[in-house]
Each structure stands twice: as C-alpha cells, then as structure tokens.
Chains A and B, each alone.
Chain A
C-alpha cells in the first residue's frame, strides 16, 4: 500500500513551537483507557497537531459527550478548558460556548454511540449550522464503556465476542456529513498516525465544522476475529483516497509535484492542503463524487480514508448571525443594556 502522506519540508520533528512551547505543554492527564486503545493514539496526534501548529492551548475549548471516547479530552491539552457534557448532546454545548465566545478554537471528541445513535440529531444540526469545531468521532463500532454492545456504525455481518452477529446496516457518518453540506469531511485510522496528524492540522486551519471519522479499534470488545473495526482488519482494508500533505499558512514552503498529479486546496487562513491522487482525479469539492466514492468503498468492503470532502469557503454559523467582533460573553454593560430612551420609546408605543 502507498504511503498515506506527502512529504513536505524536511519532515524533521520540531522540539519547540513558534510560541516557545514544548510537546509537554500540550499533554493532558494520564489516560485511564485500556492499553492499546485506538483513542489514545488519536489523543497523541491531537497533542502533536496542536503543538506543531502552535495553537495557544488557552484559546482552545474541548468538548465531549459520554463514552470511552468522551473521556479523552482529559488526556490532551491540559491548559484548555474542557467540558464532558451529556450523552449525544455535546454539539449543543459546543454551539452555546461558541456563541458566547467565537474566538475559541473548539475541538469535540465523540464516539460512534454518542454520535450515530443518541446524538444523531444534534450531530446533524451542528453540521447543518456549520458550527466552527473540529468534531472527531472515535469510531469502533461498539459501546465500550457499557461493555460491548453493537453501535449503529457496526458493519453488517460483524461479530461480537460472544458470537452475536450484527444484521443491521452501518451508518456512514462521512456520507451523512457530506449530504448535510459539511465543508470538511475526513476519515482517518488510529493505526495511521501520519495521515491522522495531517488531517488534524488541516481541520485546525478550517473555519467551520470539520467532521473527522476515525476508525479507532476497541482492543477489549471489538478487536477479535470477525470484527470489522479491529486493527488487523482495518489495516488490511484501509484504502487511501490520496496522499495528504498540509502546509500551514505561516510556512512558505514550495512543494514540487508533477503537474496534474496533485490538487491544492487553500483554506480560509491561507493554509494549503495538498492531495496527491492515487487513482482517478478525485475532486473533493464535489459532493456527489464523495458520495459515489464512499459507496464504492462500502461495496468493495474497503475502509476509505483521506480528505473526502472539502468546501472551505462555506460561511460558518457565527458569520451568519452577524454578531459583533468581540465575544458576546465579554461585552461590558454599556454594550448590552440599551439606553433609557430606547426603553421609554418601547413603553410609549405600548400606551
């Protein structure tokens, strides 16, 4: 299988970022998840992406719902405020927080149970509104914290440890997000950290809802033979849509590639995503191509990863509300209490 990422620059790991901070400054508490859990691998890439992108952790707000995945915001970015909310309804909490302070960089971590079952409604409305948030679904096809029940993303024919077969079709959250007009839809694999970190960096630069569905094996309840979301199965079936490279807006790197081989997408802040085609010329801005490709992968039993759909120009919800530039939550009294004359006028009209 081809390498999932494009090599950009020297590729050498930096020890200190542009804020003078070290990776340690982006760490969180110690994980209490099972050893080898895919979720921990994702947390590590979140630390790396925010560190390498030099995002000030104090300006980040972390959100989650309920489940194993939703515990993870405690395991990265300890300098950021975190909110472990209620099952399936983190999107509402994040929406409210962004309304109060749209200067925050929001990251939400959810799971397949939290998003595809109890939280499906809120997930869809968040996408529809284009709330600026990186929304990660740590997708293992199973309810971990309640000990191994199928979730709505479990593949048809996949087997529980107890031998129970899943006979319902899975929900494809990427296809759903595309259908709802999401401007950034990606699928990653916890076992492919290089691709993951590039997707995350691009998501950080994106201004709108970035849905990242990450296949993240559950080592305790769904990593056995017969599982379609385990490490072995996923590795064998991962199919790359393209190779991904990411150039942040502050880097002036010229990337050489043969004309016609690579597609460049410029994000809101000037960052560039480079997508090197591995098959046909896939245009990630065309929703119907994305849906077609997703369905084809399902038909052939493959796990398609990459940046599936990109429409970075879409206006986010805060833009549509035409609110003031400062955070609403921090406006002083004189800006939120209208004048006495205005009240008097309202009263006169009611006399």
Chain B
C-alpha cells in the first residue's frame, strides 16, 4: 500500500464521539478548466438537492477554454442560507497548479480530499486529509485517455458521497438528469462513481464531522440559473425581437431564449413568433432593439458592462426620442481585459445615468431567479408603457450560478403595450395629435407605429430637437419643455416600478441592499440576531427611480448600512443625494473582490463600525475584506510623476 498512502487510518473515525454537523457544509472543488468537472459538480450538487437539502452551486472560472484553474463551490445549508460562505469545510484538490494555495487557505480542521501525486498532506498538519490515487482508479474505467480524464472527475463525486453520506440512488438520479437519460453516457459515469464509493469504503477512514442527511426542504423546487430564468420570463412575457452579441456572463441569456423559444414559440405552421439576431456588436444589438421597439415589437438584448458602455449613444437617443427597449446587464468585474468571469455590482452609476445630456433611466434589480423571471416581462411592459429603454441589472453570480427556487408561476396579467394610437383612434381624433404632446399630464405622450394606415399617423423621429408635435425645433423653450417632461415621466415611473421589499423591525439599524447581495445580507441579519442579539431592519431595493418607501425607511432608522458589491458605494451615493439631510445616517459596506459577497464579511463590518465611537460622519467607508480606512490623509506629490527617476526603483536594484 506504499503507493496509495492513506492519510488517516481507515479503522479510525474522524470526529468520532462528537456530534456531527448535519446539512451545513461547504464543498470546494478545485479542478482544471475544460476537464469536464462541470458535470461532476452538477451531479454532486443535484444529489444533495434531491436529498431535500437546500443547496447552491457557484462556479468560479477563468477567462479561458481549457487549462487554467477553476473552482466550484457547493453550499448545503439546512436553514436555506445559500449565499456564498467563505470558509470551506470539505476541499477536493484535483489541480496541481493551485493545490498548495487551496490547502493553505483552509480553516483548521477542514477535510481535504486530494489527488495522490499532489501530496497535500505535507503542506499542513491541522487538516484531515484523504489521499486518493485518482489516476489509478480511473485507469480501469476506460482505455480512452480523453474519457478517462472526464471520468476521473466523476470518481471524486463517489468519494465525497461516501464520506459525507449522500445516497447512491440520488446520485444515480442526478446522473440520469445530467446526461438527459442517455444510457451510453450514464453507464461509464455510474461506474466511475461506484469506483469512488468502493474505494472510500475500503480504504478511507470514515468521518463524522460533516454529514448530509435527508430532509424535506427542496420538495417541488427547481434549480436554475438567472440567465435561463430571464430567458423563460422574456418568452412568457411576449418578447418578439431579441438581439445580442456574445459577452460573458450574459451570453447564456440569449442562448437560453433560443433554446426555450424553439420549444414554445413555434406556431402550428412551423413558423416562429419571435426573431433572434446575433448582431455584429453591441452597438448594432441595441440599435436593432430600438428599431424594433419603434416599430412596435417587444424587444430586448442582453450584455455586460463593456457592452453597456458601447450602447451609451443609442441609449441616449432612445431616451430622448422615447423608444421602448429592454437591456439586461449581467454585471461582471470591470473592462474586457479585467476579470470578465467574476461578479460585481459595479454598473449602478452607468445604468442610472447612461449617455449624453440629462438622462436618467428606469432600472429593475432582480435578486433571485424568480425575480429574473418576473422582471423580464415587467421590463417589457414598462418599456412600452414608458416608451424608453429599460435596464435590468443582474450579475454573474445570479446569471450564471445555480439557484434553488420555487417553480415560476404562470403570468396571469395581460401584457401592457402602452399608449399607441391606432388608425381608428386617429380617425376619431380627426388626425389631430402630437407625438410628444403630454395630453394626460403624466409625462408620457402617445405614439403611432410605422405602417399605421392613416394619412396623419406618421411623425418624424429624431433626438431632442423637436416640439410637442414632433416638428423640428431648436427653440430654447421647446428643448426645455422636452427635458422637463422627460423628468416628469421619470416621476410617474416611481408609481410603476417594483417597490422595495421592506422588513421593518423595532431596530436602530437599517440595512439597504439590492441584487445578489441580499443572500449574504439576510444571513448576516440572522447572524447578528443569533450571535449578538442585534435586531435590524432591511429594505431590499428592486428598482430605480427610488420610491417613497426608501425615504420612509431611511427616516425611521438611526443608522443605515448600504451594502453593495463595488468599490465606491455607487448606490449609496445615489441614495445619499436623494435623502437630503438624512444622508448623515448612511454608511457603506462594500465588497469588491470579484467573488460574491458573504454574510460574515457584512456581520464583521457592521460590528466593527457599530463599536467605533468616533465615526467620521457622514461617510464611513469600510472596505470589506480590507482594513478600516481612516479619514483623509495628506498626500504629497510624488516626484516620479514629475519625471524624476528614483535612484533605485523598486525591483530594479540589481
């Protein structure tokens, strides 16, 4: 047995005697991108889900097709906390590139399964190691080296299952689902899993520290990612024109539309009630959306931050010329050569004010896959009702990761098509109408669609240089009237956008968050309540413009912590501007590492800030996972920027 050294004695049980932690663990799997580990990880996650345990799966992947490191984190939690947890309980090390760091990062006492040649046991002595000779086990599984590589990853599923107590039957169900019932694919994978189970049974010690046990919290639930949810929502929301340009992490949204629309939106004659166009770039994608919206389609596109930047000019035209369209922003970190495969909430400012001149936009902010579904049709309605581009702000964590949810409910509301004058209506009006005439006093004028068969239906669409009758005008008063009316329209929108979800308690502290931050925040509130007896209120923002509920909430609390996933606290600044004097109450908790925010970071930050007596009001910045920054320090002008070379620049001493 010298070659397959076992880290612990199989006769001894790890954690024997003490009570196991049941249904509360985080599994972190480190593999090589492109090695097929996605299927293995999905099977692992789904089998826990099928045992009735709330679960989530987060994929941390590189901007790469094959070869670079990738991680998958499965969190199972009996209380339903399925946001990110930083601490790893069970590590699976399959990647030589990262094994050392992966092991060094583990909390003391964690479990670690590793591929034998990595010799992880030599790195630390406070981790419970399980050494597995994966290559040897896989050797029996197939003679095809490519297939063997894929099956190696399935072997660890068997090992993990045996160690923590996942039912083999549920793994088999998960495999059948993963490989869509194709027996040819199922058989070798089951063999690989059994190989892992058998190996663990015979050679590895039992462990009783973390266990998975059947419960009944996932009955009737679905697992889906936010992009697919948005796709389904758009299809059932009656979208007819979809355009897109591939960009991570948004591509799967429109790809899902293609997939689901094929199943649902082909009529009895075999013809499509939708059109999907892969555009030449994001500028064209949004141009098509606006052209289609102008001509009466419910149109949408999806992109990420860099794409939004490219769309800026068209969005300005759409805003001033008042043209409907929906743009999904699946946010990610920074520029194209940044961290395109990591999550962030850094596009808040960009979406709120995108483009030239005085522009402000309606932004819907889903937090969950069910809201992705819901807001997809809501956005299409609002776009047509308000005749303006509408943003839906999602992010990579929501869009691409796997989330558990109740099944989506069939929409019962009719779709809203907004103020459109038909030929018949024009005849009734004797052709008297003005495209930009605010006859209803809500800032929203009536429009006609091209092709309307009436000699007075037409109007000429151009940016802001027009009067209420859509005639060309450069008159100062006409321009002012136009932009003032657009502001009025934005006021009206406050009555129509999704209201915030408010959980108001008898508390001095109020939290405000939005989007995926909510998953960490809800858990943090639970931690504060259980561990410190601190009760907090919470307002979850679901849209811009800000509504009255937000003002009331800020007024009702002594201290407001706004938690978001960007460096500057972009939403906090928008709120500070809006709440006037109350802005002194506002504090920022910011998480911006490219990874989803976790509860402990928020809890620690709040406790630290609550215990600081002398708070530099009104602004106190806690940079999450970084040091508490003090007040402004004086900065001296560095000579190097003035062209003075230091005697020995750092790193150039030799």
Contact = CB atoms under 8 A, between A and B. Distances in A.
Interface in A9-38: 29
A92 B280 CA distance: 10
* Interface residue SS majority, chain A: helix
Given A327-B296, A329-B449, A58 B273 contact: no
A338 B450 contact: no
Interface in B584-630: none
B292 interface: yes
Interface in B220-250: 220-224, 232, 235-241, 243
Contacts of B313: 86
A101 B450 CA distance: 8
Contacts of A121: 280-281, 284
Nearest to B265: A338
Contacts of B286: 92
Interface stretch (A152-160, A207-215, A341-349): A341-349
Interface in A42-70: 56-59, 61
Contacts of A322: 270-272
A336 interface: yes
Contacts of B453: 56, 58-59
B36 interface: no
Interface residues of B, number: 72
B241 A93 contact: no
Given A333-B414, A343-B236, A350-B223, A96 B264 contact: no
B317 interface: yes
B314 A338 contact: no
B368 to A, nearest CB: 14
Nearest to B454: A58
A208 B453 CA distance: 23
A351 interface: yes
B273 A101 contact: no
B353 interface: no
Nearest to A21: B455
Contacts of A58: 451-455, 457-458
Chain B CB count within 10 A is highest, among A57, A74, A338, for A338
Interface stretch (B120-128, B140-148, B160-168, B403-411): B403-411
B271 A100 contact: no
B52 interface: no
A324 B314 CA distance: 28
A347 B408 contact: yes
Contacts of B459: 81-82
A92 B273 contact: no
Contacts, number: 222
Contacts of B634: none
B472 to A, nearest CB: 7
B267 interface: yes
Contacts of A333: 238, 414-415
A347 B267 CA distance: 21
Given A78-B458, A336-B240, A101 B222 contact: no
Interface string A118-154: 0001100100000000000000000000000000000
B415 A96 contact: no
- Residue of B221, B286, B287, B291 with most chain A CB atoms under a 10 A cut-off: B291
B271 A323 contact: yes
Interface core residue of A57, A86, A100 (most chain B CB under 10 Å): A100
Contacts of A104: 295, 450-451
A350 B294 CA distance: 36
Contacts of B239: 336
A209 to B, nearest CB: 15
Contact of B240 (A86, A95, A103, A328): A328
Contacts of B240: 100, 328-329, 331, 336
A291 B370 CA distance: 56
Interface in B291-317: 291-299, 313-314, 317
Interface residues of A, number: 57
A331 B238 CA distance: 9
Contacts of A285: none
A328 to B, nearest CB: 4
Contacts of B280: 121-122, 125
Given A84-B462, A86-B317, A338-B235, A100 B299 contact: yes
Contact of A101 (B284, B448, B451, B461): B451
B283 A92 contact: yes
Contacts of B288: 92-93, 95-96, 99
Nearest to A350: B222
A350 B295 contact: no
Given A59-B451, A333-B415, A96 B295 contact: yes
Interface in B431-467: 448-455, 457-463
Given A100-B296, A342-B263, A89 B287 contact: yes
Contact of A96 (B220, B272, B287): B287
A119 to B, nearest CB: 10
A271 interface: no
Contacts of A327: 295-296, 451
Interface in A92-119: 92-101, 103-104
B294 A93 contact: yes
B381 to A, nearest CB: 12
Given A321-B272, A323-B271, A96 B241 contact: yes
A74 B291 contact: no
Nearest to B50: A351
A82 B460 contact: yes
Nearest to B180: A349
Given A97-B450, A101-B295, 15 more contacts: A81-B460, A82-B458, A85-B317, A91-B287, A96-B288, A100-B291, A100-B292, A101-B297, A324-B269, A327-B296, A331-B238, A333-B238, A335-B273, A337-B237, A342-B263
28 contacts: A61-B450, A81-B459, A82-B458, A82-B461, A84-B463, A86-B313, A89-B314, A92-B283, A92-B285, A92-B286, A93-B291, A95-B277, A96-B293, A99-B277, A99-B297, A101-B449, A104-B451, A122-B284, A125-B279, A323-B272, A324-B273, A329-B240, A329-B296, A329-B298, A333-B415, A336-B239, A336-B265, A350-B407
Interface of A: 29, 56-59, 61, 73-74, 78-86, 89, 91-101, 103-104, 121-122, 125, 321-325, 327-331, 333, 335-338, 340, 342-344, 346-347, 350-351
* 9 A-B pairs with the lowest CB-CB distances in the bound complex, closest first: A96-B291, A92-B287, A329-B296, A100-B297, A81-B450, A96-B288, A100-B295, A96-B292, A93-B291
